[in-house]
Amino acid sequence: MNHSISLTVNGARRDFVLDDPRVTLLDLLRERLHLTGTKKGCDRGQCGACTILVDGKRINSCLALAISHDGADILTIEGVARGDQLHPVQAAFIAHDGFQCGFCTPGQIMSAIGMMREAQAGNDPERIRECMSGNLCRCGAYAGIVDAVLEAQAGMDESNQRRSA
Amino acid sequence: MKSFDYVRPATVAEAVAAAAQPGAVYLAAGTNLLDLMKGGVSRPDRLVDVTHLDGLDAIETLADGSLRIGALVSNADLAHDANFAKSYPAVAEALLSGASAQLRNAATVGGNLLQRTRCAYFYDTASRCNKREAGTGCDARDGENRSHAVLGWSENCIATHPSDFCVPLVALDAVVEIEGRSGRREIALDELHRLPGNTPERDSALDPGDLIVAVRLPPAARVFSTHARYLKVRERTSYAFAVVSAAAALRIENGKVAEARVALGGVAAKPWRARPAEDVLRGVAPTADAFQEAAWRALADAKPSGDNAFKIELARRIVVRALLLAAAGTPARLPALPASPFASTSGAIHA
């Protein structure tokens, strides 16, 4: 039996007909939309490489059935920059060498963006490490990742201050 | 993954009818179920998706002072609800010590209660497992079993229940509201999970079609808010299941323990309420000696199920530590590493 769903992906509405309910959001993004920035690492919810934002919240897209997310608003790594202007978290990862091989990086960046929206960690490196523990980096770029998140967080705090001043 | 039919019911009644069929299971976030299905551990014929049902995602205070948590509230939304965290700090701490931020954003209250064991032999379909397939045997019994149960286990199964959330909940007398084929009923959380006995394939007291719609904390659960903690020993500092955990909650009046609640995680097939420990603390001063006695009683019936005798002593020490921290008072803000015995203050370094 075919199932029709629609999603908003990086701001654009997309309609799908699923001929099998087993399709995960991860596979839908990669195989149907060819948005391959979202990575398939473990495919079992353990590594965080597949992190995307669904309705503004970071989740593991490998453990989410597409069919169950009919109507959801999805943001992937392909949707965070504005044209050639990198998202502040992307820029901070480059500035601080927050990666080596780069495979986990889209998930790290989406997770960091989701974490900053959750506003639980602030500028405490220990809380950032804890809040980012769902994203593994086998190159061990954690120190650079934490520095990148700290800088992005500081930039966000500053721009919020400017806005409220 | 085996193929399945997908059903999206419009009402709870439709959901119950659809899920009462043989081979049907409920789908909430799927953070545990999809993992099990990908590994061939769970092979349902039909998924009944309850995530679109109305009215199951509210956190509400009832007229009598109870708190009612809808089954579809996410683990993160509950833990970060400021009023919830203030009133039930040990529950918030337990939630935030579990899984990762991504999983907590998706995982639901009802799903957390019904997550399956993390026993590696249950997950490995090439191994014998009485829980996965009744009557086949238990390869954990003579296998790698240092993380397995020390309380309430049987020769048929030595698996543990992995939930952190359930541990303080069972200490606080949480009640589970269930919609089933014969209508609404409720049971104590302490009666939801079953010990293995001769039927380890049955995790819970639920019947086919039964849907958890809410978890309720009684009015008395609020009285512990100033002295409640959850502590959890893991094999890494974050994003790991408990080797052993403990929830401790105290009501202290005039320098004496008026009432104590103690429960253990990672030690049995269910969140383990330690009533003998609670009884011995009633009316005594909250001292390390009293807590030692309580810890001893909490583990009085414990016995190793394999290479895990260390968990008994570890559990005793975690009970004492959790009680000491509870007596010292709930911190104004949760520590940077929730429930970690290695971080008492923000700024600590990952152990």
**Predicted confidence (pLDDT) per residue in B216-240, tens digit:** 999 999 999 999 999 999 999 899 9
Going by C-alpha positions, the residue among B104, B109, B99, B91 that lies closest to residue B173 is: B91
Given a cut of 50, is residue B64 above it in pLDDT?
yes
Q: Where residue A158 falls among pLDDT bands split at 50, 70, 90?
A: confident
The pLDDT score that the predictor gives to residue A16 is 97
Give chain A positions within 8 Å (CB) of B106.
Answer: 57, 59-60, 63-64
Q: Which of A17, A52, A79 is the last residue of a domain?
A: A79
Question: Is A160 in the same domain as A103?
Answer: yes
Whole-prediction pTM? 0.97
* A126 with B47: Cβ contact below 8 A: no
pLDDT digits (tens, 9 = 90+) for A2-17: 899 999 999 999 999 9
Give chain A positions within 8 Å (CB) of B102.
Answer: 45, 48, 51, 58-60, 111, 114, 134
Q: Can you list the positions of beta strands (E) in chain B?
A: 5-7, 24-27, 46-49, 59-61, 67-70, 175-180, 183-188, 211-217, 228-233, 244-253, 256-265, 272-273
The pLDDT score that the predictor gives to residue B346 is 44
Question: Is A93 in the same domain as A158?
Answer: yes
Taking the CA of residue B121 and the nearest CA in chain A, the distance in Å comes to 17
Taking the CA of residue A86 and the nearest CA in chain B, the distance in Å comes to 23
Question: Is A93 in the same domain as A140?
Answer: yes
Give the residue on A whose Cα is nearest the Cα of B74: A57
Give the residue on A whose Cα is nearest the Cα of B239: A133
Question: Is A7 in the same domain as A35?
Answer: yes
CATH at A43: 3.10.20.30
The pLDDT score that the predictor gives to residue B351 is 41
Across the interface, of A68, A120, A134, the residue whose CB is closest to B239 is A134
As a whole number of angstroms, the distance between CA B135 and CA B124 comes to: 16
A44–chain B Cβ distance below 8 A for any pair: yes
Whether B178 contacts B187, CB under 8 Å: yes
The pLDDT score that the predictor gives to residue B348 is 47
Give chain B positions within 8 Å (CB) of A20.
Answer: 3
The pLDDT score that the predictor gives to residue A1 is 75
As a whole number of angstroms, the distance between CA B248 and CA B230 comes to: 6
Q: By residue range, what is the domain housing residue A139? A: 88-164
Interface test with B, best of A3, A19, A22 (most B CBs within 10 A): A22
Give chain B positions within 8 Å (CB) of A51.
Answer: 102
Question: Is A58 in the same domain as A75?
Answer: yes
Going by C-alpha positions, the residue among B251, B250, B245, B243 that lies closest to residue B230 is: B245
Whether B232 contacts B245, CB under 8 Å: yes
Going by C-alpha positions, the residue among B13, B21, B49, B17 that lies closest to residue B33 is: B49
Mean pLDDT of A135-155: 97
Q: Which of A27, A53, A79 is the last residue of a domain?
A: A79
pLDDT digits (tens, 9 = 90+) for B72-130: 999 999 999 999 999 999 999 999 999 999 999 999 999 999 999 999 999 999 999 99
Computed on alpha carbons and rounded to an integer, the radius of gyration of chain B in Å comes to: 20
As a whole number of angstroms, the distance between CA B57 and CA B62 comes to: 15
Question: Is A36 in the same domain as A103?
Answer: no
The pLDDT score that the predictor gives to residue B222 is 97
The pLDDT score that the predictor gives to residue A63 is 98
Q: B16: part of which helix (H) or strand (E)?
A: helix B12-19
As a whole number of angstroms, the distance between CA B95 and CA B80 comes to: 10
ipTM of the complex: 0.97
Q: Which of A79, A112, A140 is the last residue of a domain?
A: A79
Question: Is A159 in the same domain as A106?
Answer: yes
pLDDT digits (tens, 9 = 90+) for B10-39: 999 999 999 999 999 999 999 999 999 999
Question: Is A27 in the same domain as A69?
Answer: yes
Residue type, B174: A
pLDDT digits (tens, 9 = 90+) for B141-160: 999 999 999 999 999 999 99
Which long-range contacts link B181-188 to residues 24+ away (Cβ below 8 Å)?
A: B181/B16, B181/B17, B181/B20, B181/B207, B181/B208, B181/B209, B181/B210, B184/B213, B186/B216
A116–chain B Cβ distance below 8 A for any pair: no
Whether B186 contacts B281, CB under 8 Å: no
Given a cut of 60, is residue B350 above it in pLDDT?
no
Mean pLDDT of B185-200: 98
Topology of domain B5-52 in CATH is 3.30.43
Q: Where residue B132 falls among pLDDT bands split at 50, 70, 90?
A: very high
A13–chain B Cβ distance below 8 A for any pair: no
Q: Give how far Cα B89 sits from Cα of A78, A106, B83, B95, B98, Å.
A: 38, 34, 10, 10, 14
Task: Number of A to B CB contacts under 8 A, please give it.
Answer: 105
Give the residue on A whose Cα is nearest the Cα of B97: A130
Percent of chain A with pLDDT over 90: 93
Give the residue on B whose Cα is nearest the Cα of A59: B102
Map B137-204 to HEC letters.
CCCCCCCCCCCCCCCCCECCECCCCCCCCHHHHHHCCCEEEEEECCEEEEEEHHHCECCCCCCCCCCE
Sheet containing B175-180, strands listed edge to edge, beginning at the edge strand earlier in sequence:
B59-61, B67-70, B211-217, B175-180, B183-188
Given a cut of 60, is residue A98 above it in pLDDT?
yes
Pairing relationship of beta strands B67-70 and B244-253 according to DSSP bridges: unpaired
Give chain B positions within 8 Å (CB) of A3.
Answer: 6
* A63 with B35: Cβ contact below 8 A: yes
Across the interface, of B1, B39, B350, the residue whose CB is closest to A22 is B1
A130–chain B Cβ distance below 8 A for any pair: yes
CA B106 to chain centroid? 17
The pLDDT score that the predictor gives to residue A163 is 78
Given a cut of 70, is residue B344 above it in pLDDT?
no
Give chain B positions within 8 Å (CB) of A115.
Answer: 101
Taking the CA of residue B102 and the nearest CA in chain A, the distance in Å comes to 4
Superfamily of domain B226-328: CO dehydrogenase flavoprotein, C-terminal domain (3.30.390.50)
As a whole number of angstroms, the distance between CA B119 and CA A164 comes to: 52
pLDDT digits (tens, 9 = 90+) for B172-187: 999 999 999 999 999 9
CATH at A152: 1.10.150.120
Question: Is A62 in the same domain as A96?
Answer: no
Whether B160 contacts B266, CB under 8 Å: yes
Domains in chain A, number: 2
